[in-house]
């Protein structure tokens, strides 16, 4: 791969693989600075590029959503609908892999009070 990282300018590396919960084959794009994102064969972004901090925030949001599904009677779709309304996004654009760090932080704050009366 001859593309440069938009953050540090170093060369990106690409690895063809299948990602978790996605039966399709994708490229995992990485850089030494911690940038990581996924594209499909047609080079369409499946996630927004982010660094390790963004990855960790997205993972935390996923963990909180999964925990709410297990501990409450809410379905995942209902939680995503709540998040979409709070963020002011259409439901089809409310996908954690497309969240930036600010949106992850806001979502974690919203979800803290999600199941409280």
Assess whether 31 and 64 both reside in one domain: no
Please give the tally of structural domains in the chain: 2
Mean residue pLDDT of the chain comes to 79
CA–CA separation, 31 vs 5, rounded Å? 7
Assess whether 73 and 85 both reside in one domain: yes
Asked if residue 117 belongs to a domain, the reply is no
Assess whether 43 and 67 both reside in one domain: no
Decide if pLDDT at 3 tops 80: no
Assess whether 66 and 77 both reside in one domain: yes
Range of the domain at 41: 1-49
Q: What's the pLDDT at 13?
A: 77
Assess whether 73 and 36 both reside in one domain: no
Assess whether 103 and 59 both reside in one domain: yes
Q: What's the pLDDT at 97?
A: 79
Asked if residue 98 belongs to a domain, the reply is yes
Assess whether 41 and 69 both reside in one domain: no
Residue 98, classed as helix, strand or coil, is: helix
Q: What's the pLDDT at 87?
A: 94
pTM for the whole structure: 0.65
CB contact at 8 A, 29 and 38: yes
Assess whether 27 and 63 both reside in one domain: no
Assess whether 61 and 105 both reside in one domain: yes
Assess whether 41 and 63 both reside in one domain: no
The 3-class SS string of 40-83 reads CCCCCECCCCECHHHHHHHHHHHHHHHHHHHHCCCCHHHHHHHH
Q: What's the pLDDT at 81?
A: 93
For the segment 82-100, what is each residue's pLDDT rounded down to a tens digit? 999 999 988 888 888 778 8
Q: What's the pLDDT at 100?
A: 85
Asked if residue 90 belongs to a domain, the reply is yes
Q: What's the pLDDT at 60?
A: 94
Assess whether 8 and 35 both reside in one domain: yes
For the segment 47-80, what is each residue's pLDDT rounded down to a tens digit? 666 777 888 899 999 999 999 999 999 999 999 9
For the segment 23-54, what is each residue's pLDDT rounded down to a tens digit? 666 777 777 777 677 666 656 555 666 777 88
Residue 108 in tokens: 């974690």
């Amino acid at each position: 791969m001859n593309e440069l990282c938009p953050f540090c300018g170093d060369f990106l590396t690409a690895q063809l693989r299948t990602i978790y919960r996605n039966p399709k084959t994708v490229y995992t794009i990485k850089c030494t600075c911690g940038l990581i994102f996924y594209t499909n064969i047609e080079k369409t972004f499946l996630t927004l590029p982010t660094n390790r901090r963004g990855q960790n925030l997205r993972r935390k949001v996923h963990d909180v959503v999964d925990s709410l599904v297990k501990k409450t009677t809410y379905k995942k779709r209902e939680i995503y609908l709540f998040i979409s309304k709070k963020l002011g996004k259409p439901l089809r654009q409310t996908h954690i892999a497309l969240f930036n760090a600010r949106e992850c932080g806001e979502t974690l704050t919203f979800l803290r009070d999600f199941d409280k009366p």
